[in-house]
A and B are shown apart, each in its own frame.
Chain A
Amino acid sequence: MDTVLEERKASIFAQELGCGGDGSSIGCERASVSGAVSQRACVYCGARVVLNPITDAFHIVHGPIGCASYTWDIRGSLSSGSDLYRNSFSTDLREKDVIFGGAEKLQRAIEEIVQEKKAKLIFVYATCIVGVIGDDIEAVCRQAEEKFGIRVIPVKAPGFSGTKSQGYKLACDAMMRLIRPHYDEKLKKCGVNILGDFNLAGEMWIIKNYFHRIGIPIVSTFTGDASYETLIKAPRAAINIVQCAGSSAYLAKRMEEEFNIPFFKVSFFGVEDTTNSILRVADAVGDAAAVKKAACFTTEERRKAESFLEIYRPHLTGRRAAIYVGGGFKAISLIRQFAEMGIKTVVVGTQTGKQEDYTVIRSLVDADTVILDDANPAELERFMRETKADILVGGVKERPLAYKLGIAFCDHNHERKHALGGYEGVVNFTREINLSINSPVWKYLKEA
């Protein structure tokens, strides 16, 4: 039995298979193959993960209960204010709603929220069957906005209407809809918006703190620890920086076109990327003092991180890592970060990486490294075994698979236990990699 389907081979770059053999490009940004155990999610999931961290919004899932229940407090996005977003609101559509339409129920659900609580912002997510039965949620949301004088923004995200990336785009459109009325071209522009960080384990706070220390104001954050009041200030920023480009580059592009806010991509994962990102932002918007402070700050932090890594490197050098993450930017940062530890990346895959991401990835890894788009467990298993990976960095579904294979694991997704961003993140990430690779429990495992 071959573990790789013929039609999957275009999405895999592995020397021995002759996959991607023409050396040009990898098959990505396409729908999954039916019947594959894809690790990917859907349009709704993409929209929800991006908007979910907006802390004081009511996120109403318009559909049957499942989609609300699976996304109830799904990611460890922290809040410095409201914790409203950690509740689950839905219309729990039933059979008769499917037959007679669910618009009325949605309208009533919004009313039940408004009559009880002070709502400023509601997102309404339409899931699969709402897309099929055709509830006019635009109209319901518009009427509710007029009636209650609050923002009620529809996110039409039927799961089947594309890939998870399409959901990211819908989330960005929803945010533009929220902030667009607050744009005034006469506004004096100042400060930075941070896009594409979700404040998992407080990572946004770490990044904000860096800029605070070097004297660069942060205007708004998308969407980690965001609130209605902070989001609507976004059009005033002088520049946007984008971390998770897969989810938020589109928002940055729209803000550039419509608000004249230029943007560039950053990454706060690993010493090298964090340092470069801070320096670049200081150069772009800081005064001479800020640039100088940034240089001093990063030099000092880099020195500390380097002496920390020196302690751990003997325990890690020569190990081999497999990476399977959502987007391309994170994979790129992780390859660099592993290199800083002396670990070679032997397998790298993403769920939704773009062609340009894969080009960068190929420039960073050795020729024998296996690269895959939208991998399934059988492929991951095969390539991790063949490349003798010691540790897998991935998300919740990959964790038990890694353990069964006798491979160490680190969650770099929603279930991360500690902040993995910034210099603090380098310390935490290195410790997590070390504790999993060097845990005494591996001694008790039977050899395969």
Chain B
Amino acid sequence: MLDATPKKITERRALRVNPCKTCEPVGAMYAALGVHRCMPHSHGSQGCCSYHRTFLARHFKEPAIATTSSFTEGACVFGGGSNLKKAVKNVFDIYDPDVIAVHTTCLSETIGDDINTYIQQMEIPEGKIVVHANTPSYAGSHIVGFGNMMSGFIQYLAEKKAVSNGKIGIFPGFVNPGDMREMKRLAGLMHGDYIMFPDTSGVMDAPNKGHYEMYPKGGTTIEEIRALGSVEKIFALGELTTKAPAIKLKEKCDVDFAALPLPMGVEATDQYIMELSHFLHTEVPESIEEERGQLVDIMLDAHANFYQKTAAIYGDPDTVLGLTAFALELGMVPKYVLTGTKNREFTKKAEALLAKFGANDCKAVDNGDLFELHQWIKNDPVDILVGTTHGKYIAKAEDIPLVRAGFPILDRYVHSYMPIVGYRGAMRLLELIGNALMDRQDRDAADEDLELVM
């Protein structure tokens, strides 16, 4: 497998091979699915919508619903306005969502469709809402698209009221529903009265009821998005993804925010809890203290198995930073840290993390691809890969164990239900990584070296 990957590294300036990112619109679609009774709408060719739905359906194993403007040659020449207007009418008529969230594509951006004007001009049924976000596929990545759709909702809906509603807002970042549930659980234990936006829990992990609900009960409600303009403070978790929408809200409604890393591993989860505690003036309850203590206890029990183990960690910026931080806390050496999204801030933060733990000879890059990562590994291998499904080719070619974390995971189940954030998420990650390393040790052991007790 991947015989085409040569060990010798040559400079590439034009060719992207085996990407570690995808385009903005799929991120926008995922964000919009985290709004209650929302229909994401792709303003472009129908292939875009089909690909994004497929991609999301493969990761979440859920019907990822979205509509498309179905561009034709004519739309490209005359603009996509009439397609969009007709689409919006049809969507409200037949699927009856409360809100349609339009995102653009490379096509509609390049021909210069002005979505805001189209929305002003169209007839929208009483009580219904249409919002939009610009998500040109030739800029950013799916991570940027996710943030842009959040900003779009904020721009259209967030309202500053004279009196604060006393709540806090939590932006969870581009994470799974299982992670969102965990962030909410912890905030609840801290007695936070919160609005999470977006919130795909209850949508992209909806239970089976024996019938199909186009709009399951989860998702941030329109009222809650409006109320974001009057919250006390925003906790923007996964700051490389959520800082931009937090700034948008600050500009529009003057809401303060704290930009934080994803609460992954010990320190970043501590930071989340302490920020909540400080702001809410609540004591950290014993149950959270207990979880943290359990995590540290497990880390201690298992530390000998992790120490100095080398890892390649790749995927989306905030997730990779979180995984890297936790790997360092476990005593591992994250030799290669890579994201496909172009973001210098990522590289700086990754390098700072590595320096903080004295991990020398490690490499961190943004705007990278998995071909590049494979070449590094061919030249100097690692003990374990931690990242998305597309790393399985490298894992197979180089015979290195792979722990799946991040987006997308196309070849396993359950991942979207279980957290990798919070202390409990860290326990799960520790178990996944530890099992992979120790299974490998068992597999490779000579008969006489096989140990019963490890």
Contact = CB atoms under 8 A, between A and B. Distances in A.
B47 A44 contact: yes
A39 B14 CA distance: 33
Contacts, number: 252
Nearest to A6: B93
A66 B4 contact: no
Contacts of A34: 68-70, 83-84, 86-87, 90
B14 A40 contact: no
Interface in A124-151: 127-129, 131-133
B26 interface: yes
The interface centre, meaning the residue of A90, A116, A160, A445 with most chain B CB atoms within 10 A of its CB, is: A160
Given A39-B50, A87-B4, A446-B210, A69 B393 contact: no
B46 A40 contact: yes
B23 A88 contact: no
Given A109-B14, A129-B106, A129-B138, A92 B19 contact: yes
The interface centre, meaning the residue of B12, B69, B137 with most chain A CB atoms within 10 A of its CB, is: B137
B441 interface: no
Interface string B97-114: 000000001110011000
B242 interface: no
Interface in A1-43: 1-5, 31-43
B16 A91 contact: yes
Nearest to A132: B110
Interface string B65-80: 1111111110110000
B339 interface: no
Contacts of A72: 18-19, 390
Nearest to B6: A116
B19 A38 contact: no
Given A95-B138, A128-B105, A66 B54 contact: no
Interface stretch (A212-220, A401-409, A426-434): A401-409
B211 A448 contact: yes
Contacts of B69: 34-35
B252 interface: no
B446 to A, nearest CB: 32
B387 to A, nearest CB: 15
A70 B90 contact: no
A237 B414 CA distance: 50
Given A31-B72, A35-B86, A69-B21, A400 B47 contact: no
A295 interface: no
Contact of A98 (B1, B18, B110): B110
A4 B55 CA distance: 26
Given A65-B19, A397-B63, A381 B107 contact: no
Interface string B191-213: 00000000000000010111111
A404 B22 contact: no
Interface string A89-115: 111111101100000011111011101
Contacts of A36: 67-68, 70, 90, 94
A92 B14 CA distance: 8
B210 A65 contact: no
B51 interface: yes
A86 interface: yes
Q: How large is the interface on A (under 10, 10 to 19, 20 to 34, 35 or more residues)?
A: 35 or more
A35 B2 contact: no
A396 B58 contact: yes
A64 interface: yes
B211 A70 contact: no
B26 A66 contact: yes
Interface in B156-198: none
A129 B50 contact: no
Contacts of A447: 210
Nearest to B20: A69
A113 B88 contact: no
B235 interface: no
A195 interface: no
A36 B88 CA distance: 10
Interface in B24-50: 25-26, 41, 44-50
B141 interface: yes
Given A160-B75, A403-B208, A404-B208, A105 B63 contact: no
Interface of A: 1-5, 31-45, 60, 63-72, 82-84, 86-95, 97-98, 105-109, 111-113, 115-117, 127-129, 131-133, 158-162, 164, 377-378, 381, 396-397, 399-401, 403-406, 445-448
23 contacts: A31-B72, A35-B68, A39-B50, A40-B46, A44-B47, A45-B51, A64-B23, A65-B19, A65-B22, A67-B23, A67-B51, A70-B51, A82-B3, A83-B1, A86-B393, A88-B16, A89-B16, A95-B139, A106-B14, A129-B107, A129-B110, A397-B64, A406-B210
Q: Which 5 A-B pairs have the closest CB atoms?
A: A42-B47, A66-B23, A159-B45, A35-B90, A35-B87
Interface of B: 1-4, 6, 10, 12-19, 21-23, 25-26, 41, 44-55, 57-58, 61-73, 75-76, 83-84, 86-91, 93-96, 105-107, 110-111, 136-139, 141, 206, 208-214, 371, 390, 393
